[in-house]
Amino acid sequence: MTAQHTLTVAGVTVDTRHWIGGERVASADTFEDISPIDGSVLGEIARGTAKETDAAVAAAKAAFPAWAATSRAERARILHAIADGVEKRLEELAIVETTDNGALLRSHRRGVMPRVAHNFRFFADWLLNLDHEDFETRGHTNHVSWDPAGPSVLITPWNAPLMLATWKVAPALAAGNTVVLKPAEWSPLTASLLADIAAEAGLPAGVLNVVQGYGSEIGDALTSHPDVRRISFTGSVPTARRIAGSAAANLTPLSLELGGKSPLLVFADADLDLAVDLAVEQYDNAGQVCLAATRFLVEESVAEEFTRRFVEKAGQLTQGDPREAATDIGPNIHPRQLEKIDGFVRRAVEAGARAVIGGHRKDGQYYAPTLLTDVAQDSEIVQEEVFGPVLTLQTFTDEDEAVRLANDTRFGLAATVATRDPERAARVTERLVAGTVWVNCFFVRDLQAPFGGSRHSGVGREGGTWSFDFYCDLKNTVTAPNGWTNHG
In the predicted structure, residue 247 carries a pLDDT above the cut 60: yes
Enumerate the β-bridge partners of residue 476.
144
472 is catalytic: no
CATH class of 3-258+453-476: alpha beta
How far is residue 62 from each of residues 29, 58, 308, 433, measured CA to CA in Å?
A: 27, 6, 61, 42
**What pLDDT was estimated at residue 488?**
52
In the predicted structure, residue 2 carries a pLDDT above the cut 70: no
Residue range 361-378: average pLDDT? 97
Average pLDDT, the chain: 96
pLDDT tens per residue across span 264-316:
999 999 999 999 999 999 999 999 999 999 999 999 999 999 999 999 999 99
In the predicted structure, residue 482 carries a pLDDT above the cut 50: yes
**What pLDDT was estimated at residue 167?**
96
Residue range 236-255: average pLDDT? 95
**Backbone φ and ψ of 458, nearest 5°:** 150, 175
Residue range 191-219: average pLDDT? 97
Split at pLDDT 50, 70, 90, the class of 4 is: confident
How far is residue 230 from each of residues 14, 64, 106, 445, measured CA to CA in Å?
A: 29, 13, 35, 25
290 is catalytic: yes
Enumerate the β-bridge partners of residue 231.
153, 254
Split at pLDDT 50, 70, 90, the class of 1 is: very low
In the predicted structure, residue 487 carries a pLDDT above the cut 60: no
**What pLDDT was estimated at residue 483?**
66
In the predicted structure, residue 197 carries a pLDDT above the cut 90: yes
Are 83 and 233 in contact by the 8 Å Cβ rule? The answer is no
Catalytic member of 92, 97, 257, 385 = 257
Catalytic member of 97, 290, 299, 472 = 290
Residue range 200-205: average pLDDT? 98
Report the amino acid identity of residue 286: A
CATH class of 263-439: alpha beta
Kindly list the domain boundaries of the chain, sorted by start residue: 3-258+453-476, 263-439
pLDDT tens per residue across span 94-153:
999 999 999 999 999 999 999 999 999 999 999 999 999 999 999 999 999 999 999 999
